[in-house]
Amino acid sequence: MASEISTLSNPIVETNVLSSVQGYPTLDVAVDRYLMSMPSEYYTIGNVEELKDLMANSQPLLVDVREPSEYRSGHIPSAINIPLRTLSRNLNKIPSDRPVVLYCSTGYRSSMGVMTLHLLNYDNVKGFPVI
């Protein structure tokens, strides 16, 4: 019985999430590579004029990642609502062939959404922090 307990507890103690497994990079190296691949502007639209210019020239899809009650209380005209927590379940609504702009009330949820979509190989997504 004591050997079963020690056998069960050893994998937990010895498991190192950051260790390399069968040629894959360690978690810290993979995260570092991802973060270093981000351009200095961090996939962000910096101001209202830049958003207006993008809207006039590229017809982006605007995605409000706030909760439905927040969306109903007011949103950018033509924006669709996909709450951040449901983003990965609604990828069929997010095109990969035209610009996509995510926004929320502070920029926190939109930046999480941008990172999520970039991890899922969307390279056409930017965030607009409405502050």
Confidence at residue 25, expressed as pLDDT on a 0 to 100 scale:
73
Contact in structure between 27 and 17 (CB atoms under 8 Å)? yes
- Tokens matching residue 58: 């590229």
Q: How far apart are CA 131 and CA 123, in angstroms?
A: 24
Question: What is the location of CATH 3.40.250.10 in the chain?
Answer: 39-129
Confidence at residue 47, expressed as pLDDT on a 0 to 100 scale:
81
Confidence at residue 106, expressed as pLDDT on a 0 to 100 scale:
84
Q: Which residues are known to be catalytic?
A: 104
What architecture does CATH give domain 39-129?
A: 3-Layer(aba) Sandwich (3.40)
Using only C-alpha atoms, the chain has a radius of gyration, in whole angstroms, of: 20
Q: What is the pLDDT along the chain (131 residues), one digit of tens a residue?
A: 444 444 444 444 444 444 555 667 787 887 777 767 766 555 777 788 888 888 888 889 999 999 999 999 999 999 999 999 999 999 999 999 999 999 998 888 998 999 899 889 998 999 887 65
